Chain A
């Protein structure tokens, strides 16, 4: 496959990651709340570009803390 050399050992940095139920529940809630936001923005008549911009801001904010949480869990 392009990008990998044959017989090269691939180290998976996330191989030991076990996502605790608390984080799984948090991720699930976040997915639901994002979907609710999209629905409510649509219902209020917001255009697609504004909706995408809003989602992008929210996802970026969440992403940084999520990476920190996952690093913490793997330590």
Chain B
């Protein structure tokens, strides 16, 4: 029997790993520093349950990562041995009174070695759109029995942890366009840069600026300008992959982070976006048309900090503006591959 037979037919989101990871990444929380807000909650839960360990665990593609972790030294661990990986496969809590008596966990290295988990109670952290991105769990090194009322308490705390994550996400969203704010986007760039220097994952940053945007505002007023920004952001989002990040960097300037792509792919993507924006007709009192200029910067070992990376993309963007607008320029020595592409640097 496979996993699909075990899960209610209507609950397809429990099997949608790509959607689940996209939901997790929307929170932009992985690899962020510890935060008192979450640590206070785990400390409270630990105190209420009288256990040595409590974590807010998020399940990434191949690891579990702790946004908050009281009683464990590490901030991440392998997904293969993680109890919380099992928790996110169900809607209901995962309750293991004695791991040594449970055939799923009796041989687990976390049971037979440090931290010597003996009992576990984990509640899935379910997003409002139904994806289990992680778990709030209490762990003890001795067998523990929990009453249904206690399990209900942990469920309530888990819902409040998701509220905290949601609010954090809302605070990082630009409410006019739905894009990530500059602050949130910069955090994503920092994580990508760290990943590049750690594991060499190729990543590209695309910056774009709507050409002559001030004219739209001056001629048709700010409602027209807002409509243009919303429409452009919606079109860009529709054209991007779930793993890409769109940020509004300010005014009419946007950033796009393309993960795990070579420069040629980034260039083609930018050119495709440029072409889509050029063909948009935005219905207003008079139909509005816009174009945008693009600057693209990949990563190499010389790029050591996010401001440097942003400056490279920005220079390429201004090269595109200077050379006539409505075109793409690259910051590093990558050949132009399409008529709308230019080369800079």
Whether both chains belong to one complex is answered with yes
* A31-75 interface with B by 8 A CB criterion: 33-34, 36-37, 39-41, 43-46, 50, 53-54, 57-58, 60-62, 64-66, 68-69, 72-73
- List, in ascending order, chain A residues with CB within 8 A of B48's CB: 41, 46, 50, 54
Task: Please indicate the chain B residues that have their CB under 8 angstroms from the CB of A13 in the complex.
Answer: none
Least CB separation from A68: chain B residue: B171
The size bracket of the interface on A is 20 to 34
Q: Across the interface, do A43 and B37 meet the contact criterion of CB distance under 8 Å? A: no
Contacts of B164 in A (CB 8 A): 61-62, 65
> Which of B131-139, B150-158, B231-239 contacts its partner?
B150-158
Binary per-residue interface labels of chain B (2-40) against chain A in the complex, 1 for a CB within 8 Å, 0 otherwise: 000000000000000000000000000000000011101
Assembled-state Cα–Cα distance A73/B147 (Å): 43
Q: Which residues of A contact B153 (CB under 8 A)?
A: 37, 40-41, 44
Q: Mark B154-181, 1 if CB is under 8 A from A, else 0.
A: 0111011001101110111101000001
At the interface, is chain A mostly helix, strand, loop or mixed?
helix
Q: Which residues of A contact B181 (CB under 8 A)?
A: 72
Considering only CB atoms, which chain B residue lies closest to A45 in the complex? B149
Smallest distance from the beta carbon of B120 to chain A beta carbons, Å? 19
Give the residue of B150, B163, B168 whose beta carbon is less than 8 angstroms from that of A33: B163
Select from chain B the residue with minimum beta-carbon distance to A50: B48
- Sorting the interface of chain B by its residue count into under 10, 10 to 19, 20 to 34 or 35 or more gives 20 to 34
Q: Is B110 an interface residue (CB 8 A)?
A: no
Is B324 on the interface with A (CB-CB < 8 A)?
no
Q: Which residues of B are found within 8 Å of A26, using beta-carbon distances?
A: 163, 166-167, 170
- CB atoms of B170 and A30 under 8 A apart: no
Q: Identify the closest chain A residue to B184 (Cβ).
A: A72
* B156 in complex: contacting residue of A22, A37, A57, CB < 8 Å: A37
Q: Which residues of B contact A29 (CB under 8 A)?
A: 128, 159, 163, 166
Residues in A neighbouring B338, C-beta threshold 8 A? none
Neighbour of B147 across the interface among A22, A23, A41, A44, CB < 8 A: A44
For A69, list chain B residues within 8 Å (CB).
Answer: 167, 170-171
Whether A20 sits at the interface, judged by CB under 8 Å, is: yes
Q: Which residue of B lies closest to A22 (CB)?
A: B170
Of all A-B residue pairs in the complex, the 6 with the closest CB atoms, nearest first, are A69-B171, A37-B156, A61-B37, A44-B149, A40-B152, A33-B159
Give the interface of B toward A (CB within 8 A): 36-38, 40-41, 44, 48, 128, 147, 149-150, 152-153, 155-157, 159-160, 163-164, 166-168, 170-173, 175, 181
Q: A30-B160, A33-B160 are in contact. List 5 more A-B contacts (CB 8 A).
A: A37-B157, A57-B41, A61-B38, A68-B171, A73-B175
